[in-house]
Amino acid sequence: MGLAVGCICRWVRRQIVGNSTNALTRIWSVLAVGLVVAAVVASGALGAAAPISHRSRLPKASLGAITQLSAANGCLVDRSSRRRGCTTVRALKGAGPIIGSEAITVSPDGSNVYVASSSSNAIAVFKRNRRTGKLTQASGTAGCIAAGGADGCARGRGLAGPNSVAVSADGKNLYATSFRSSSVDTFTRDPSTGALTQAKGSTGCLTAKAIPGCASARGLNGADVVALSDDGRNVYVGAFRGSAVAVFSRSTSVGTLTQSSGTGGCISEGGADGCATARAMSSVEGLAVTGDGKNMYAAAPGSGALDVLARDPSTGALTQPADDGGCFVNSATTGCTLGRQLDGADAVAISPDDRGVYVPTLLSSSIAIFTRTPSTGQLAQASGTTGCVANAKGVGCARGRTLRGAEGVAVSPEGTTVYAVSLMPGSIDVFDRTGPTAALTEKRGRQGCLTDPRFNCARAQPLRTATSVAVSPDGKNVYVVAFKSNALDAFKRQTK
């Protein structure tokens, strides 16, 4: 199986670097086949649970358990993919692309939800009812922003294949990456409606390509994920093709971005593009900054690695420690620490107390778990079941029933629950987070997972190719985007 998975990884890499217009479609096809093969070889890793009746009563919900909102409030789908029982909206085609696992975000005030939709070349904007969690989309340009103003949206540029979105802590700006544009775009957010307006001139779009109306920047080739520091002073972009993290200073008054020259403006595998030098940073796809601002952690699936980066609080510049604590890898690599279940590491989430770091891994079908020492920023992965959760049996991890092609992860605001979404069968796993070890335990029975009827989980749909998950700041709701379903799903979260 290791040889087959290795071949799949190399094929995917060639397709992405080749920049084919059909790359994403072909990537999905090969990953789907590869994961099915891996599951078969693993001899029934998912188990063989019989179908269950969804009329049976769920046990009393525990803290963090989720249920899909009723009727059409529970799912929104792009109007090109009408689905019975769901609300049709605009700009959700290709919501949450596979290359990108941070495609959904909730504004800090809890008033809006934003989704990056690669096939729509758009950012969809939704108003959130903070009491019920229901989402609605405004008509006209307030409901979305798209390349060329398609779908009746506001007009944007540098939006070819959006795949990641993040809102600044002050709520003034939204930043989005676009894979095919190799860009990061800056938008001003209307606090009353949530509508987005792209900054005028070249300050509204920074790119590694020659795009009219955009300025050039380094370390953005195949821009994949965007993350902000809590102090609002820096924006970071992980580049899949460029194997880099671009560093931008942010104006806290107007939100515009600037990149310094030299090594302070980016860090990359081997120091390419005039950046600071990093190791085990191939194909960056996940980023997260600690709340104390001392560290950034980067998931690099091409290296099967989690990179540990120190952040300069005055400039935002990133450096990788020279010792082997600067990277954790799935297979032995000079200068890195050997970790577990990191094959295809593709996202990062940090607990609110800065003590737990969670990394979903596509090809390991697992979540690697690290504990963090706040004083030093150093990570450690425990042996045994406290160091990982996995779909497969016999790998020394705690169990995650539907972690097949794990892609996205989120931690609840109070830090008690972790949610993970997976490509196959399109699912959500719900874990309780306990103690100083940051260990995860999947909730029992149907509260522990949501998908179609096959795996003794609660039912939720449409979730085909679920890629990204977000929890509202008030902890009342969980939102998930599903690429193949062109869908945004809404869930109520048990808070007591």
| Per-residue pLDDT tens digits for 236-247 | 999 999 999 999
345 DSSP assignment: B
Asked if residue 411 lies in contact with residue 370, where contact means CB atoms within 8 angstroms, the answer is: no
* pLDDT tens track for 285-301: 999 999 999 999 999 99
Joined tokens for residue 345: 């590491």
236 vs 224, 230, 263, CA distance in Å?
A: 11, 12, 14
Whole-angstrom distance, CA of residue 134 vs CA of residue 46: 33
Whole-angstrom distance, CA of residue 333 vs CA of residue 325: 12
pTM to 2 decimal places: 0.90
Joined tokens for residue 352: 């609110």
pLDDT above 70 coverage of the chain, percent = 87
Of the pLDDT bands very low, low, confident and very high (cuts 50, 70, 90), residue 179 is very high
Residue 378 confidence (pLDDT): 95
Residue 454 confidence (pLDDT): 66
* pLDDT tens track for 402-417: 999 999 999 999 999 9
* pLDDT tens track for 457-486: 999 989 999 999 999 999 999 999 999 999
For residue 40, is pLDDT > 70? no
For domain 42-493, give the fold.
Methylamine Dehydrogenase; Chain H (2.130.10)
Residue 11, helix vs strand vs coil: helix
What's the whole-number mean pLDDT along residues 91-109? 93
Q: For the chain, what's the residue count?
A: 496
Residue 260, helix vs strand vs coil: coil
Q: For residue 357, list its beta bridge partners.
A: 350, 370
Joined tokens for residue 467: 């890629």
At 247, phi and psi to the nearest 5?
-115, 125
* pLDDT tens track for 20-34: 334 443 343 344 434
- Alpha-carbon Rg for the chain, nearest whole angstrom, is 20
Report which residue type is found at 310: A
Asked if residue 152 lies in contact with residue 79, where contact means CB atoms within 8 angstroms, the answer is: no
Domain ranges in the chain are 42-493
452 vs 404, more confident: 404
pLDDT above 90 coverage of the chain, percent = 81
Of the pLDDT bands very low, low, confident and very high (cuts 50, 70, 90), residue 60 is low
474 vs 131, 138, 312, 441, 477, CA distance in Å?
A: 10, 23, 30, 23, 8
Of the pLDDT bands very low, low, confident and very high (cuts 50, 70, 90), residue 453 is low
For residue 219, is pLDDT > 90? yes
Query: What's the distance, CA 207 to chain centroid?
Result: 21
Give the mean pLDDT of the chain.
89
For residue 432, is pLDDT > 80? yes
Which among 50, 13, 49, 43 has a CA at the least distance from the CA of 31?
Answer: 13
Of the pLDDT bands very low, low, confident and very high (cuts 50, 70, 90), residue 39 is very low
Residue 53 confidence (pLDDT): 33
Q: For residue 183, list its beta bridge partners.
A: 178, 207
Query: What's the distance, CA 400 to chain centroid?
Result: 19
